[in-house]
Amino acid sequence: MIFFVLLIFLAIAVVIVITQRHRKGDFLFRIRKLKNKNTALLSEMMKMREESAYFALATDELSQKAFRHLELALDDANSKVIEIDEALRTLESRAKSWFDYTDLYVLIGMQDEAFEEVENIMRKARQDYVRLSKTSS
């Protein structure tokens, strides 16, 4: 009889461990997906900043103003991307833990929303960049 009770407890423990591993994998997958998007945005920002650097040398006032606007947008997006990256590192370390799962779904969702804000800023920066490249040509 005791053997069966121990066997039932062992089965319950195995089920708990399997579900914890599944949740852990889900958290890590979502975090890695956001980190990959974040890395892609950082490289795009660096590329835009390098390519738009010669617009600062333009003599007309319109190009100078557009360049300053683009720089401000890129700086704003860059600071937010760095904040998101730091938060994702913290969340990743929490997701690797076996017991610290409190509010991870909510926190990952918050970083996803912050990332959408950065994408909107970058969309506007891309429009400014296209405008700059057309006026300088």
Question: For the chain (length 137 residues), average pLDDT per consecutive 10?
Answer: 79 74 74 89 87 72 77 87 89 75 78 88 85 72
Closest by Cα among 104, 81, 78, 110 to 91: 104
Q: What is the pLDDT of residue 23?
A: 66
Question: What are the E-state strand segments in the chain?
Answer: none
Q: What is the pLDDT of residue 107?
A: 84
Which residues, 6 or more positions from 42, have their beta carbon under 8 angstroms from its beta carbon?
78, 81, 85
Q: Name residue 40's amino acid.
A: A
Q: Is the dihedral of CA 125, 127, 128, 133 positive or negative?
A: positive
- Residue 136 has which token pair? 């300088």
